[in-house]
Amino acid sequence: MADFEIFEASNFVLQKGAVLPKVHLAYKTVGSLNPARDNAVLVPTWYTGTHTDLETYMVGAGRALDPGKYYIVMTNLLGNGISSSPSNTAAPFERGRFPHVTIYDNVRLQHMLLTSRLDVKTLRLVTGWSMGACQTFEWATQFPDMVRTACPIAGSARTANYNKVFLLALERALTLDPAFNEGFYERPPVAGLRAFATIYAGWGTSEPFYRTEMWQAFGSRNMVEHVSDFWEPFFARCDANNLLSQLRTWRDGDISGNATHRGDFAAALRSIRARAIVMPVDNDRYFPPVDSEYEASQIPGAECRVIRSAWGHMAPMNPGDVPAIDAALRELLAG
């Protein structure tokens, strides 16, 4: 019994021009829409994340995103293995032939779900972590009248070059494994996924995380053991084509990459009308606060509120950093 539902769209035209005959958006809702229809909250997933991860780390009774108070819609990113992905799409777009989808495509499909199926006309809050934050920025840009408040956490409105060189290294390492076979592998490219995980280990947390040996809290005895205990299993479970599909979606994130804004990033940010708290993490290596501060400076009335954590980009996974995040979400929800 699947704990999620599927919204299907036909002949879905992607931002880059390809057409998917059928596209599936997997989603899960918790809580219920109030009579005023003003308590809907959208929470898109992060890189490799699913609606189940959202329920583990962001949504639940006692959290700011409380299903007892809000109608919470959790959407799965295209490419995550549950929504349409290389691993679950039929020929001619299966595996290594899955087309390039963008953050814009994800947000447009989510908008179709909300307006045509769920009858949601306004969003009290859009929030997400990492690629979920990238989707949050895109939502506030594409549908400024629909998004009341926004809280992008450890993500950006346009993927920075420094972030992209990290992604380029990940892509080159994974595809170097001869088992990858241009996406038509018979067995997982285990060595490639292992190299991918090791590169990620150098960016996912932070220098102080390593200097203070925070892996000891998880029982790992040294750095190599930490990489093999946490990072290698984290990515070993993932489908390589799905990782690359989501990676390219991440790489090309840019709220101004559309016909309206034509690359004018500042204008795209200035067009946002949602009340926004942009929340970077001080030790985040690939979504550094300096970019968030610029974004907040351009979004009318926005605040940049920095999370202080040695967990770096992974801070939202750390229970100790949850109170700061929930406090910001509660402020926005209180409106």
Give the residue numbers annotated as catalytic, written as ranges. 130, 284, 313
Tell the residue number behind the tokens 């949602």, with chain if given. 274
Select 195 or 329, whichever has its Cβ closest to a copy of itself: 195
Q: Least CB distance from residue 276 to a copy of itself, whole Å?
A: 22
Select 89 or 318, whichever has its Cβ closest to a copy of itself: 318
- In this structure, the number of other CB atoms found within 10 A of the CB of residue 144 comes to 12
Q: How far is residue 256's CA from residue 52's CA, in Å, rounded to a whole number?
A: 31
Q: How far is residue 260's CA from residue 296's CA, in Å, rounded to a whole number?
A: 21
Q: How far is residue 108's CA from residue 143's CA, in Å, rounded to a whole number?
A: 9
Q: Least CB distance from residue 202 to a copy of itself, whole Å?
A: 5
CA-derived radius of gyration, the chain: 19
Give residues in contact with a copy of itself (CB under 8 A). Answer: 160-162, 164-166, 168-169, 172-173, 176-178, 191-192, 194-195, 198-199, 201-203, 207, 209-211, 213, 222-224, 227, 285, 288, 290-291
| Listed residue (245, 209, 254, 240) closest to 227, CA to CA | 209
Terminal-residue alpha carbon distance, the chain = 37
For residue 170 the two structure tokens come to: 């990940």
| Listed residue (242, 216, 239) closest to 229, CA to CA | 216
Select 110 or 156, whichever has its Cβ closest to a copy of itself: 156
- In this structure, the number of other CB atoms found within 10 A of the CB of residue 289 comes to 20
Select 190 or 317, whichever has its Cβ closest to a copy of itself: 190
Q: Least CB distance from residue 198 to a copy of itself, whole Å?
A: 4
Q: Which CB contacts under 8 angstroms, 24+ apart, belong to 163-172?
A: 163/286, 163/287, 164/251, 166/199, 166/203, 166/285, 166/286, 167/247, 167/250, 167/251, 168/251, 169/199, 170/196, 170/199, 170/200, 170/247, 171/244, 171/247, 171/248
Select 15 or 198, whichever has its Cβ closest to a copy of itself: 198
Select 67 or 202, whichever has its Cβ closest to a copy of itself: 202
